Amino acid sequence: MRQSSGMTQRQLATKMAMHYTMIGKLERLERSPKREQAEELDRALETGGTLSRLWHELTNRHYVPEWFKDALLLEQRATEIRAYESLRIPGLLQTRDYARVLLEERQVTTPPDQIEQMVETRTERMSMIRSNRPLLWFVIKESAFLDPVGDERVMRGQIRHILDLADEGVIRVQVLPTPRSSLSLCEPFRVMVLSGTQTVGYVENMLGGGVIDSSPQVQELNSVFGLLAAEGLPFPQSIAHLRKISGERYGDLEEEHL
């Protein structure tokens, strides 16, 4: 935001009661801002309270893993998100029931009230970013829909949720059937466009994930996503295929509304 305003760190510091070296530390994540600093930055950068709102959202998210907070911040700024998922339904698309089953089965020692907090944090992400109307494009391996999480009701509701988002024009989704190449064996990842000149990646692993900002690596992620999308079913066929999977494996989608 400072760069977009055309200011240097020194120029920004002259508008605030802050030394320019502190600006640098905040930008390099060497220091965490206090609420007053976020508010002062908003005034100096004329951002309409954006940084203050992000400060409140992130500091109040006690149930967001530390390794994911950077990705959460970038997600809210992104104008485009392209994501590939090979194992499960992406977090942005998960229903409360689906997310709850995943969390309960993996975090068996976590108290129920904390599980519910995590479920809420995960599932509210879509509502927080959809108002910005970013391009949301998902390529999801077919096995994520075939390997059940919970019971038939959970999976039926999960597929219904994805179809509803697609019908509303919120997301574009492609199902990747049994691929012809080994590309689909890569870790889940996403590419996020933040501005006309800034694009970053995010790659997940079993213990967490990390932001990728090296231009060659981001370009590689972009290229891999394009190849995976080329192997996936086209959007209309993917929607039809999801309806078929739900009907054959989890029962009629209309049962969700009975």
Same domain, yes or no: 9 and 119:
no
Q: What is the pLDDT of residues 9-39, one digit of tens each?
A: 999 999 888 888 999 999 998 888 888 888 8
Residue 212 CA to residue 227 CA, distance in Å, equals 19
Average pLDDT, the chain: 89
Task: Please name the helix (run of DSSP H) or strand (run of DSSP E) that holds residue 193, with its range, or none.
Answer: strand 189-193
Residue 216 CA to residue 151 CA, distance in Å, equals 42
Coil vs helix vs strand at 201: strand
Domain count, the chain: 2
Same domain, yes or no: 129 and 21:
no
Q: What is the pLDDT of residues 185-242, one digit of tens each?
A: 899 999 999 988 889 999 988 778 889 989 999 999 999 999 999 999 999 999 999 9
Same domain, yes or no: 154 and 242:
yes
Same domain, yes or no: 54 and 82:
no
Same domain, yes or no: 44 and 74:
no
Q: What is the CATH number of the domain that holds 73?
A: 3.30.870
- DSSP single-letter state for residue 185: G
Same domain, yes or no: 180 and 72:
yes
Per-residue pLDDT band at 67 (split at 50, 70, 90): low
Prediction pTM value: 0.74
Same domain, yes or no: 233 and 252:
yes
Assess whether pLDDT exceeds 70 at residue 59: no
Same domain, yes or no: 33 and 133:
no
Q: Mean pLDDT throughout 124-146?
A: 92
Note the pLDDT of residue 81. Answer: 97
Q: Mean pLDDT throughout 133-151?
A: 95
Same domain, yes or no: 183 and 249:
yes
Domain boundary among 60, 85, 101: 60
Q: What percent of the chain has pLDDT over 90?
A: 57
Same domain, yes or no: 128 and 243:
yes
Q: Mean pLDDT throughout 121-149?
A: 92
Domain with 203 in it: 67-257
CB 104 within 8 A of CB 115: yes
Per-residue pLDDT band at 64 (split at 50, 70, 90): low
Q: What is the pLDDT of residues 100-112, one digit of tens each?
A: 999 999 888 999 9
Nearest Cα residue to 30 out of 22, 39, 18? 22
Domain boundary among 43, 60, 77: 60
CB 224 within 8 A of CB 183: yes
Residue 197 CA to residue 246 CA, distance in Å, equals 41
